[in-house]
Amino acid sequence: MKKKVFSPEEANRALPLVKRIVADIVERHRAFSVTRAEYAKLQSQKVLEASQRSRKSELETTIKSSVSEMQGFVAELEALGISIKSFEEGLIDFPSNRDGREVCLCWKHGEDSVDFWHERDEGFAGRHPIEKAAFSAK
């Protein structure tokens, strides 16, 4: 299957749906982190009272459900041709071409539009503003 490649315009057209999916991921990840921390605390105790064992079991179920939900959200992004780089921050990469080479358009949860790009091996720290003339969806 041919990999989807986005122009800045195409990435921005996809953004309303991507924003909703990423908001779900960020929210679910926050809740997951809190649940996981509580579970780890119970897991570290040598002896658990009945109520603690019950709570631990509830947390295990919640963790499994959260992981499943997040996997579903990631699958939705992947089906669009987009990859998530950080669940915590909601960092997204859209594959693109700039001056004939593969790069990534990048967006972070909370930003209004896709306005930055980076080399494939640079990541978020290497972001540059988009100069639209240099990009194509080919």
Report the alpha-carbon distance of residue 48 to residue 57 in Å, rounded.
12
Overall average pLDDT of the 103-122 stretch = 94
How many Cα atoms within 13 Å fall on the side-chain side of residue 46?
Answer: 0
Q: What is the pLDDT of residue 136?
A: 64
Q: Are 90 and 26 in contact (CB under 8 A)?
A: yes
Structure confidence at residue 100 (pLDDT)? 85
pLDDT digits (tens, 9 = 90+) for 16-26: 999 999 999 99
Residue 52 has pLDDT above 90, yes or no: no
**Residue 94 pLDDT:** 96
Residue 70: other Cβ atoms inside 10 A: 17
More confident residue, 126 or 36: 36
**SS3 per residue for 36-69:** HHHHHHHHHCCCCCHHHHHHHHHHHHHHHHHHHH
What pLDDT was estimated at residue 133? 59
Strands 101-108 and 135-136: unpaired
Alpha-carbon gap, residue 17 to 2, rounded angstroms: 22
**Is a pLDDT exceeding 60 seen at residue 138?**
no
Backbone angles phi, psi at 11, to 5 degrees: -60, -40
CB burial readout 87-108, b (16+ within 10 A) else e = beebbbbbbbbbeeeebbbbbb
